[in-house]
Chains A and B, each alone.
Chain A
Amino acid sequence: MPNAILDPTGRADVAKASSPGLMLAPRRPDLSGLQVGLMDNTKHNAALLLAEIGKLLAAEQGATVTVEATKANFAAPAPAELVERYREACDVVITGVGDCGSCSASAVADGIGFEQAGLPAAVICSDAFVVTADAMAELRGAPGYHYLRTAHPVAVLTTDQVRQRAKQLLPEVVATLTEPGRRDG
């Protein structure tokens, strides 16, 4: 009997768990009167894009931006204290921009983390990083997790172009953060 070939991944014993999938946080029918948190990940134009979306939500949806913070380490998911800060002061969170190899994956991990903390989240990723974002969703037991995709590249956009992007993204942000079917409520 020949020797067995060893598995180099350390996952030989880990069965492909059939994930129950992610339970999204409960949504309201609309964003009126809700407190919005923005979490930028230091990627160029991320803070501006989120701020512009925040302004539009305030002007058009009656929401209020209560927390605008930066996740200092774009490569890693947000630390628990930061998630807690949003949980205490916000009803919904918008985060991004997933615009690099590690930060797209971790942005998706953040979105899933916010949902698990009870906060509806809208995650914005560049469409060049869909594969790695999806891979992270699968890794976190949330295959098919919905996040917003915006055309790559984001970092080279001018201020006006970023404002334009914010306008384009707004309907999907609202739809993502509210209960499906009642998004115009």
Chain B
Amino acid sequence: MTADLTKAELDPDAAHGAIEYCYAQGWSDGLPLVPATRPLMARFLATTRRSPDEVIGRLPQLDRSVTVELAAINAVMAGCLPEYFPVVLATWDALMLERSTTGGGWQSTSGPAPLIVVNGPARAELGINAAGGVFGPGFRPNATIPRAIGLMVRNAYGIHPHELEQATQGLPGRWSICLAENEEESPWPPLAAEAGLPPGTSAVSATLLRTCEFVDNRHTSSAEHLLADFADTIGRSGAWIFRHASAGIVFCPEHAQLLAGGGFDRAAVRAFLADRSGRSTAELAGVGKDYCDDNGVRGPGSRDTEAGPDSGGFQRMLPGSEPQNLLVAVAGARNAGISMVVRLFGGWSGTAIPVSGT
């Protein structure tokens, strides 16, 4: 195995040939792949008690499935280390709880990106970045774990761009958003604890995103100012296509601490934002999204004669104030008031999956 070779014994030309072979098979997402071999795959499989033959995902409409073994091969190819593999499996399981991943989500015109949040000791053990530059790049587990998921979708499900994958534009960060929660600088319990797991559990929470957009606010000491700024970004009409839309926030430590100092825990943050994020019916009418049809799809009220505004003067964007409607995590450096609003493709399952090894 490569790891056992001395520098002089490494053969870059052979490596290059193997990488090009993988490109030629159509296996790559565009970047070079690590060619997978049986001994390397075995090291990945040795990190889990699960059977290599276990089917962990199935798309009946395509008659394709993912096994633990195929997950291992794709994780090898993504550049993961063997010890990342239990996190890859937990991520996949967490994503399988999202309705869209067992339906048409991976084929969607919206081209959604997994958001992967890791809690617990696995963060430090694997070196998953929780601090500066947490949305990447620069850290091997942060970059390769989501890439493994993307390769599983591409290779095991056979969903390729321009074919069964119909993303209109896709989004920056697809297959590259994996972050550890900055539990050490968060004023709140870990996200996985909010999802019901005992604190200190290594676990993965995951959902699908339509995009991320920053909120930069570093000159107020008022929690209410800050939350009003988030409410404005969350409520913007462009992200709103159905009756309601769910969102999330990855708070930087500074914002989270300011909010906690103002008396806001996660539930209070969600309650404030559920109430305040939205637009007036008049504003929504101005963009042709004031009315919901029978399928819950927004359009102009004028397009059907019987249509009218359905929620008085102000329409709330979030479907409610539950964790499923507004995922709240903390990550990043404590050096500025810059946080990220994330747009959920559907809702979040609200469930964290424990990382289980051998």
Contacts and interface: CB of A to CB of B under 8 A. Distances in A.
Contacts of B77: 8
A5 B14 CA distance: 12
Contacts of B162: 131
Given A8-B77, A9-B156, A102 B103 contact: yes
Interface stretch (B57-65, B90-98, B175-183, B192-200): B57-65
B142 interface: no
Interface in B151-209: 151, 155-156, 158, 162-167
B109 interface: yes
Given A8-B74, A8-B77, A106-B61, A101 B38 contact: no
Given A10-B67, A135-B164, A136-B164, A75 B107 contact: yes
A125 to B, nearest CB: 12
B224 to A, nearest CB: 39
Interface in A1-16: 2-11
Contacts of A132: 107, 163-164, 166
A33 to B, nearest CB: 32
A8 B103 contact: no
Given A100-B104, A102-B103, A75 B61 contact: yes
A139 interface: yes
Given A8-B36, A77-B61, A158-B303, A101 B104 contact: yes
B104 A5 contact: no
A86 to B, nearest CB: 19
A76 B61 contact: yes
Q: How would you classify the secondary structure of chain A's contact residues: helix, strand, loop or mixed?
A: loop
A32 interface: no
Contacts of A76: 60-61, 103-104
A135 B163 contact: yes
Interface residues of B, number: 47
A17 B66 CA distance: 21
Contacts of A100: 104, 108-109, 166
A147 interface: no
A5 B22 contact: yes
Interface string B9-40: 00000100010011001010000000111110
Contacts of B100: 75
B73 A6 contact: yes
Interface in A125-163: 129, 131-132, 135-136, 139, 158
A5 B21 CA distance: 9
Interface residues of A, number: 32
A73 interface: yes
B310 interface: no
B213 interface: no
A5 B35 CA distance: 6
Contact of B103 (A5, A73, A109, A131): A73
A44 B299 contact: yes
B234 interface: no
Contacts of B36: 5-6, 8
Given A8-B156, A10-B66, A105-B164, 6 more contacts: A5-B22, A9-B156, A44-B297, A100-B166, A101-B164, A139-B63
The 7 closest A-B pairs by CB, nearest first: A102-B104, A75-B104, A101-B166, A3-B37, A8-B155, A75-B103, A102-B107
